[in-house]
Amino acid sequence: MIPQDVANTIIDPKAYADWNRVDDAFRWLRANAPLEQAQPDGFDPFWVVTRFADIQEVEKQNELFHNGDRATVVTPIEVDKRVREMTGGSPHLVRSLVQMDNPDHFAYRRLTQAWFLPQNIRGLEARIREIARGFVDRMAAKGDRCDFAKDVAFLYPLHVIMEVLGVPEIDEPRMLKLTQELFGSADAELNRGGAVTDVDTGLANLQATVMDFMTYFNAMTEDRRANPRQDLASVIANGQIDGKPLGHLEAMSYYIIAATAGHDTTSSTTAGAMWALAENPDQFRKLKDNPGLIPGLVEESIRWETPVKHFMRTATADAELAGRKIAKGDWLLLSYPSGNRDESVFTDPYRFDIERTPNKHVAFGYGAHVCLGQHLARMEMRVLWEELLPRLESIELDGAPRRMEASFVCGPKSVPLRFRMT
């Protein structure tokens, strides 16, 4: 078994806020126990998959390693028990694409896949550029200081995905707050109660957040069925699987994943990129001298931040992985940040390098469950940097950045910046 202190660290939300702690734990695991079982206090045992190749191997075998049989994020025994009591036996409060396996996963993914294909999102670029330019102007209006995370990185991708989804701009603050409550449920500054919570309170808060999302999107469904528009909400509201409308839980979950992961991951990556550039002035200068490096900045910032920290998989049969015997029913944690620091794949992985080539990271996942919105996310980030960098003369941190306390989807929550713009 993995040493108990290491096992406890890799599931501790506070360790992800103090990134060096969890990063050191995964570095030790890659070197000493790259595929081994952990049993943190209060958890069932699970395999910790830390290397790039092993993560890809699990991700491409969708029939052997399921998403939905058990919780898709690492969950304490007591929380899993309470969730199953709430749901009548399911380990999931929502049932989105990430909780699905085939044939449901393929059918539900196909419903919106065309929206996110590169040839289709190209039609959005002019509008996204207009939005990006507006946020650059807003940043310039701040003078010479801002919190880049709160003032730009959180709000720009939020506005983009809400336009795509069809949520009115007036409701964007509500969507941001609910997203932060959902992903930041362990963070006293972000969760619904604004405090450290026990299991009962934390679950009650989380359930209330999910219900608020569902109430909002149920009303949107009724409106889009009566008055369909050219937006993603209309596709979900009027979509059919095998000739039947989406189930209520599945439809609400579809909205929720679009309205949360559709911006929060891009926000974390954008905030992390600015943080990294402020700490690596040589990389900032390279970008200023050669804007053609912006696509490299985008890919390196995705690898560097890796906003989705893990997913869980469940073995459907006895299997072998990297020479280890995996038993049917075993739970596996796929650590994407660890895979993206794998020394056998990435040269000098702890260096932020916008010219890194190749840069085949696993931040978007791999195989059938690869992130549906990856092309939109890349476009959003590329366009923002194309608009911002020509006007940005200098940057430096204006205090210590801070990270969310969360172990699933998380990133910077504050990046204080001093800057000079033309």
Helix/strand/coil (H/E/C) assignment for every residue in 264-278: HHHHHHHHHHHHHHH
Give which of 12, 6, 3, 32 is closest to 310, Cα–Cα: 12
pTM: 0.96
Contact assessment for residue 224 and residue 166, using Cβ atoms and an 8 Å cutoff: yes
Domain boundaries, the chain: 4-421
Class for domain 4-421, per CATH? mainly alpha
Query: What's the pLDDT band for 146 if we cut at 50, 70, 90?
Result: very high
Instruction: Give the C-alpha separation, 120 to 108, whole Å.
Output: 19
Instruction: Give the C-alpha separation, 139 to 146, whole Å.
Output: 7
How high is the pLDDT of residue 330?
98
What H or E segment, with its residue span, contains residue 329?
none
Instruction: Give the C-alpha separation, 250 to 215, whole Å.
Output: 14
Instruction: Give the C-alpha separation, 40 to 6, whole Å.
Output: 9
How high is the pLDDT of residue 226?
97
pLDDT in tens, 347-359: 999 999 999 999 9
Give which of 370, 405, 156, 119 is closest to 269, Cα–Cα: 156
DSSP class per residue in 143-205: -SEEEHIIIIITHHHHHHHHHHHT--GGGHHHHHHHHHHHHTTT-TTTSTTSS---HHHHHHH
How high is the pLDDT of residue 422?
87
Contact assessment for residue 50 and residue 335, using Cβ atoms and an 8 Å cutoff: yes
How high is the pLDDT of residue 197?
80
Q: Is the pLDDT of residue 251 over 90?
A: yes
Chain centre distance of CA 79:
22
Please name the amino acid found at residue 176: L
How high is the pLDDT of residue 196?
80
Q: Is the pLDDT of residue 183 over 90?
A: yes
pLDDT in tens, 294-343: 999 999 999 999 999 999 999 999 999 999 999 999 999 999 999 999 99
The pLDDT of 136-163, averaged and rounded, is: 97
